[in-house]
Amino acid sequence: MITGGNRGLGKDTALKMAERGYDLVITYHSQEQQAHEVVKDIEALGRKAAALRLDVGNIAGYDSFFGMLTEKLRQHWGQSTFDYLVNNAGFGGNIPFLQATEADFDSFMNVHYKGVFFFTQKAVTHMNDGGSILNFSSGTTRFCNPGYAIYASMKGAVEVLTRYMAKELGSRGITVNILAPGPIETDFNNAAIRNNPELKARLSGLTALGRVGVADDIGKIAAFLCSDEARWINGQRIEASGGINL
């Protein structure tokens, strides 16, 4: 299951996992048609897929969501559990520290940290032993990008949480890692990089490989981390940034 699998990194991860032979359940928040297009793309690769609406920031709705998920799993696959969880859903926003409000803070926390914490807590009761959880972080937990104080702080909290998950779920054979992309040219944060050539050029200049990333750079790594080949990687932060700010 990939949260926010209807676009950007979540979509590319879903397609790369389908290419590896996985069936998928993806979630979306508001863009239902976009999610169903991804389902069609996955089915075109010969795999089964389903899309469910999820508001990660609404913890009160989790029981209803997992009820729908269980029904969908039984309908499509004849079972009620799954193997892999990718916590990808989220949003961006450039908010300078001195201008950030409590409402801004709460909005980011509910989706990027509190949501990841309690959604995963619910999800693991529906997961098979020996599976994997992959959380998404950001390069901005290692280097500072002004305006990302709230976002990066929440991602930093999830990095710590990832290690605790790995420790506490290890008895079930479930691995937990966190993937931290550098600047990626997607529609994230209103396509901030794609729509700003000067920003794109500046970030490219900071990267050893001389460019910003694309979704395909990340999806392949995410799919690998949710595979048997990566079974001995556990509790780790993997940065995929092309060597930015070395």
Which active-site residues does the annotation give? 137-138, 151, 155
CA distances from 219 to 12, 174, 214 (A): 5, 21, 9
Residue 20 and residue 230 in contact, taking contact as beta carbons nearer than 8 Å: no
Using alpha carbons, select from 220, 212, 137 the residue that is nearest to residue 181.
137
CA distances from 113 to 5, 31, 135, 151, 159 (A): 18, 22, 11, 10, 10
Residue 169 and residue 176 in contact, taking contact as beta carbons nearer than 8 Å: yes
Q: Is 48 helix (H, G, I), strand (E, B) or coil?
A: coil
